[in-house]
Every structure is written in structure tokens, then in C-alpha cells.
Structure 1
Amino acid sequence: MTEHVVEPFWKAKSLEALAPDEWESLCDGCGRCCLVKLEEDETSRTYFTDVACFMLDCVSCQCSDYPDRKRHVPDCVTLTPDLVRSIDWLPPTCAYRLVAGGEDLYWWHPLVSGDPDTVHAAGISVRGRVRLNDRQVGEDDWQDHIVRWPMRVPKQARRR
């Protein structure tokens, strides 16, 4: 007797084919995309800072008012499949980026581990790395907060 194995939705479907609840569940809750980013005019290169959007709860790494975030932060980016494929600032661990590229999710992703805390245990989330938000740090000082870690994969988080 052959056992039929059902592939997880993120392997079986394209980003465009995901149901809204599937789309939302791809977010691992790391909070990296909620960090202030700076773009260099001459090169269009993006730099991350360790300054978070004031809406980010830096302990839970969740938006404090996700359903109504655009009212508070009109330029908050709403990801779409096209946008995921066109922006260069999504972290290399971002599930949207991985699925768009035909890659699997990391072991610590809550959809794989079954535990929303593995993203923190693996050192992926912003928890403990961000202490100030964009209302506490003046825009003129953001360049003093540029960091490289949001675009890196910590050793303990790499594929097993």
C-alpha cells in the first residue's frame, strides 16, 4: 500500500495561488521588515537600521495594530507577489522571498516547527536587538544606526 504524502501549501502553490490565510501565515514574525531602511540615492542600495517602526512590539515582533497599520503608517509596505519579486530588501530568510524563489522554509519557521517561538530561538527575530523606534530617533540620526545583521542568516538558524 502506497502512502500519499501531501505537500505543504508553500511547496504546492505559487504565491499568487495562496489563500489569504495561507499568505498571512507565511510571515514568520521576525520583524526584520519593520526596521527602518535607508536607500542610498546614487546606488539605490538599501541599508537596514536597528530602529523599528513605532508600531512594532519588539518583544512579540508583531505589529501592534496590523489590521489598521496603514492608518498609522500610510507608507507601510503591503507585500504582494509582484512586490516580493521586485524588492531587494526582504531578508534572505523571508518566507515570501524563499517561496517566490522555489526554496523551502527554514526549520525554525512556525509553519515547519509548529512553534512560533523558534523564530526567536534561532536568532532570526529582532527581539533583543532593537530598543528604539522611529519616533525616538530623529530621521537625521538614522544613518548612525545602520546594521548588517538583518540581511544575514545566523549560524544557528541555517538549514539542518
Structure 2
Amino acid sequence: MRESGNKPFWREKTLDEMSVEEWESLCDGCGRCCLNKLEDFDTGEIVWTNVACTLLDDATCRCSNYERRHETVPDCVGLTPRTVREIGWLPPSCAYRLVEEGRDLYWWHHLVSGDRETVHQAGVSVQGRTISEDGMPIEDFEDHLVEWPEEDPGEGVRPARN
């Protein structure tokens, strides 16, 4: 999905200039944004949990009903260029956030690596690290606080090569 020039589209375009296809391809499939977060009403501090949205498939780190997700999860935050700029809880490795900040995508992003599995191989995704919110009272979410979703894995450790 490269532009006619030498640079990939995410280096040439702003989020506002991207086509729908380009926009959707930016999602790295990490699933971090689909984790429940808790906000302290007094301080506004956001803390992360490993409690996943009911629609997150833990094995693939993808929404199991993306096109109709708002029917099941009405408060699902849809990402737009505006929301990317406004919300403060996007993971630091999120491609939308990186592009908005003028930074490049990491080596494990599928648009760079050519493989949707590298996000998992690099240990960036939530794959195998979540529990479902299904049947869990919201007051129990605080028993599942984690710090890793807000960490920037950055370049990370590259997988071993054969």
C-alpha cells in the first residue's frame, strides 16, 4: 500500500488526508485500545486493566464484530483524526498516535514487516494476556490493573532469524 513516490503513505499524508483503506490499514492489531481502562474522577488519571471488551478475540486481537460493534458496545470509541488528537489513552505504540505525532511506524507493524503476525511475535499485542469482561462486575476491574498497555515497546526485541 505504497504511494506513487518513494515514501509510504503514512509518511506522506496526515491522518485527515488518508483514504478509508489507508486509515483502516494503520491499525496494527495489537488490541491494546480494546482493554478496559479506569479513570480516577478526582485526578483524571487513567489506569489500564487486562479486562478486554466483550468483542475482542484474544487469539487474533481483532474485534469479532467490527462493522456492528456499536450495537453491542455503544460506548466503543471510534477512532477518527479528531479523536486521535483528543483522547489521551491511546497506547504509545499506536500507529494512529505515531503518525499524528510525526513519528514512523515500528518494525513490527504489518505495513513495515509485511506480516500481521509480527505484532504478536514482538510481544506488543494483548494476545493471550486478557480476560473477558463478560459476567465481570465493573467493581472487580480494579483487581486486574496492569501497566504494560501504557508502555511503549518501541523498537523492541526483534524475533530470532533462521
Equivalent-residue separation in structure 2 for 1:143 and 1:11 (angstroms): 39
Report the counterpart of residue 43 of structure 1 in structure 2. 43
Matches within 5 A, 1:22-37: 22-37=22-37
**Alignment root-mean-square deviation, CA:** 1.6
1:101-127 superposed Cα distances (whole Å, 9 cap, x missing partner): 000000000000000000000101001
For 2:147, the aligned partner's letter is R
Identity between Structure 1 and Structure 2 (%): 54
Q: Which runs of 5+ in 1 are unaligned?
A: none
Aligned residue identity for 2:120: H
- Match of 2:82? 82
Give the alignment's TM-score, normalised by structure 1.
Answer: 0.92
Change in Cα spacing, 1:68 to 1:155, as seen in structure 2 (3 Å) is: closer
AA matched with 2:129? R
Q: Which runs of 5+ in 2 are unaligned?
A: none
Matched, 1:157 2:156: yes
Q: What pairs with 1:36-115 in structure 2 (closer than 5 Å)?
A: 36-115=36-115
Check 1:112–1:155 CA distance in 2 against 1; reply closer, same or farther (3 A cut): closer
Q: Equivalents in 1 of 2:125, 2:110: separation in Å?
A: 12
Structure 2 match to 1:144: 143
Matched positions, count: 155
Q: Return the alpha-carbon distance in structure 1 between the equivalents of residues 100 and 153 of structure 2.
A: 22
Conservation of the 8 A alpha-carbon contact between 2:93 and 2:154: no
Aligned to 1:127, the other structure's residue is in SS state: coil
How far does residue 154 in structure 1 lie from its aligned partner after superposition?
3.6
CA gap of 1:105–1:158, structure 2 versus 1, over 3 A, is farther
- 2:120 aligns to what? 120
